[in-house]
Amino acid sequence: MTREIHLSTPLSIKDIDQLVIGDKVFISGVIYTARDTAHKMMMLLLDKGAPLPFDISGQIIYYVGPTPAQPGRPVGSAGPTTSYRMDVYASRLIEKGLKGMIGKGPRSSEVIEAMKKWGCVYFGATGGAGALLSLAIKQAEIIAFEDLGTEAVRRLEVKDFPVVVINDIRGNDLYQENVRKYQTCSFEKI
């Protein structure tokens, strides 16, 4: 049975420990955006010993580059990008305290191991539904790397942002679980 859970950021280990794959989660509070180039820039900051553009502890990064806002809206369409492109950077941010990531598609085994070791979850947002997802975004502000345009790091204030738990902190994987489920399904009974 699918559960519905409402969470507010920043997230604690207690918040994410309760989550299991398949849970529908509605996030309220502040989340941050970052895509490929922004992640690379954050790694350069860490390499120099400089602070990140925001305190990453307990935070969620949404892999998105929202389109320009229409009048009266904080952002335009805000659909998730493919997460594996951030896999080379994610483990380091998880070790620094990141507690959640939002995107689409599977994650590498290295990222899943880091999530288990340091306590982090991966949420899936529905690809192709960026216009609908943007309705949960109440405010947006560029806080770093403005020269990256849509890929700049933004601070988003969200209300009931809808996601599904894809990877929990125990290493369970919704994608793999569903593959197993359907491999054992007898289509003769359908």
Q: What are the helix (H) ranges across the chain?
A: 13-17, 36-48, 87-95, 109-118, 130-134, 174-183
What domains can be seen in the chain, in order of their start residue?
4-189 (3.20.130.10)
**Per-residue pLDDT tens over the stretch 130-180:** 999 999 999 999 999 999 999 999 999 999 999 999 999 999 999 877 655
How many angstroms separate the CA atoms of 65 and 16, rounded?
Answer: 25
DSSP bridge partners of 26: 6, 162
In this prediction the pTM is 0.92
HEC string of 49-87? Answer: CCCCCCCCCCCEEECCCCCCCCCCCCCCCCCCCEHHHHH
How many angstroms separate the CA atoms of 12 and 19, rounded?
Answer: 12
Contact yes or no for 122/62 (Cβ under 8 A): no
pLDDT at residue number 127: 84
6 carries an active-site annotation: no
Catalytic residue of the set 11, 23, 31, 39: 39
